[in-house]
Amino acid sequence: MMDREDRRPDLSVLDPGLGDAGYWERLRAAVLAGAAFELARRRETARASVTAVLSSWSRKLIPATLAAAAAAAFLALSENASDQGEPQPLALEDVLDEGAAEGLSWTAENAAASPVAFMAFVEGHGR
């Protein structure tokens, strides 16, 4: 059984929203109007912080990116230069991978480069 003293007193008469459905929304609007300046200040501060972080990153990233690009360009040019030199002897792996054994002309110089080339050279001279 409920203790009479622990029954809920009706304090709704103290609720300013009683009979005035828009009261709390108006109070909220009034609070937000009072807070408008501080909210705007905070937005501005946050925007300035983001800009500052991005610009600090860009100060470090741009030189690093330029250096990396220069290094990549240098390497690419170096590889092009070496590609234009004399053909390199084929290794066994290259022959097997590319199926390039047929049609090659073997010489004593390049036959020494791999066992397959060597065998082809010997067989050619044995016939």
Angle at 56 between CA 51 and CA 57, to 5 degrees: 100
CA–CA gap between residue 69 and residue 63 (Å, rounded): 10
**Of 34-42, 52-60, 66-74, 91-99: span binding other proteins (CB under 8 A):** 34-42
Pairwise CA distance, residues 12 & 33, whole Å: 27
Rule CB under 8 A: which of 35-64 touch other proteins? Answer: 35-36, 38-46
- Contact (CB, 8 A) for 94 and 100: yes
The Cα–Cα gap between 120 and 127 comes to 11
Q: How far is the CB of 8 from other proteins (least distance, A)?
A: 5
List the one residue out of 107, 58, 61 whose CA is nearest residue 87.
107
Q: Which of residues 97-116 bind other proteins (CB under 8 A)?
A: none
Give the residue, chosen from 1, 6, 64, 80, that forms a contact with other proteins under the rule CB under 8 A: 6
Determine which residue in the list 32, 53, 73, 91 makes contact with other proteins, applying CB under 8 A: 32
One residue of 19, 87, 103, 115 binding other proteins per CB under 8 A: 19
Residues of this chain that bind other proteins (CB under 8 A): 2, 4-16, 19-20, 22-24, 26-28, 30-32, 34-36, 38-46
